[in-house]
Amino acid sequence: MTAARLADAPSVQRAGVVPRQAWRLGALAENVTAQLIEEVPVALVYNGVSHAVMLASPSDLADFALGFSLSEGIIATPDELLDLEIVSAGEGIELRLTITARPFAGLKDRRRALTGRSGCGLCGVESLADAMRPLPRLDDRTPLSLEAIHRALDGLAPMQRLNRQAGAVHAAAWADPDGAIRHLAEDVGRHNAFDKVIGAMAGRRGGRPPGFAVLTSRLSYELVQKAATTGISALVAISAPTALAVEAADRAGICVVALARADAVTVYAHPARIANLAGVA
């Protein structure tokens, strides 16, 4: 699906934040209007076959559809997504994707023995072998500077509109090699936010520009898996990684920087990619 067609995909307009009445209890009891982030069931339907239902924020859904399809290995390139329709369906939203015959045949094979689905993380898998599928090895050795990392971290908060309004959301962003934020997405699910960024960057004319991903969440295995599957070789996370995530990143050739703060960062995998640590094994 071309960048232009992705941008033109029919969209269900949702505010992302909704008002609700609440009571604030302090020295006095006060009735207030609270702003709450929306959380909506979003079904991904491929060629008429429902594959997964995610709880997600109802924004950037065209990017989410493409990013999820790429990062879960359902399609290999954006061109294998032929069409996308976004429609209201009961209490949720359906992302109706039309994909080419080759990936759809693979998806049907993958689904034949499915007994259930996960609402987040590793979706549409039926076994440990499927969940822990071999990851490609990425050979990108482009240096990543601490200055770029800190610039990207400083650029997150001003772009987190939903988080300022209501909190309760994660953000994922794509930064240029110099740390300038090119795109940011927010979602109640950290993996959903990352999929939205993957889709937005893949849908650009000319493909994803050089750079690295920045995440406001902890770095878990499925995020490394999504990065490796889509060729993202550097991840910066504000929170800590899991041991399995670091082991997977080490095997896949992904530089992992986490516990990223203004005063310090910790490099967990492939430290030689960090310009300040050049020569470190």
**pLDDT tens-digit map of 56-93:** 999 999 999 999 999 999 999 999 999 999 998 888 89
Q: Looking at the domain that runs over 146-277, which CATH code has it been given?
A: 3.40.140.10
- The residue extents of the domains of the chain are 3-131, 146-277
Q: Model's pTM, two decimal places?
A: 0.86
- What is the 8-class DSSP label of residue 149? H
Predicted confidence at residue 115, as pLDDT, reads 38
Total residue count of the chain as it appears in this document: 281
Q: Are 68 and 25 in contact, with CB atoms under 8 Å apart?
A: no
Alpha-carbon distance 172 to 183, whole Å? 8
Residues marked as catalytic: 120
Alpha-carbon distance 21 to 107, whole Å? 44
Q: Are 87 and 94 in contact, with CB atoms under 8 Å apart?
A: yes
Residues 6+ apart with CB under 8 A from 146: 265, 274, 275, 276
DSSP assignment of 108-125 = HHHHTT-----SSSS-S-
The runs of H, that is alpha helices, within the chain are 3-7, 61-71, 101-111, 128-131, 146-159, 161-166, 190-202, 221-229, 243-252
Structure tokens at 117: 């689905």
CATH architecture type of domain 3-131: Roll (3.10)
Given a cut of 50, the residues of the chain with pLDDT beneath it are 4, 113-121, 126-128
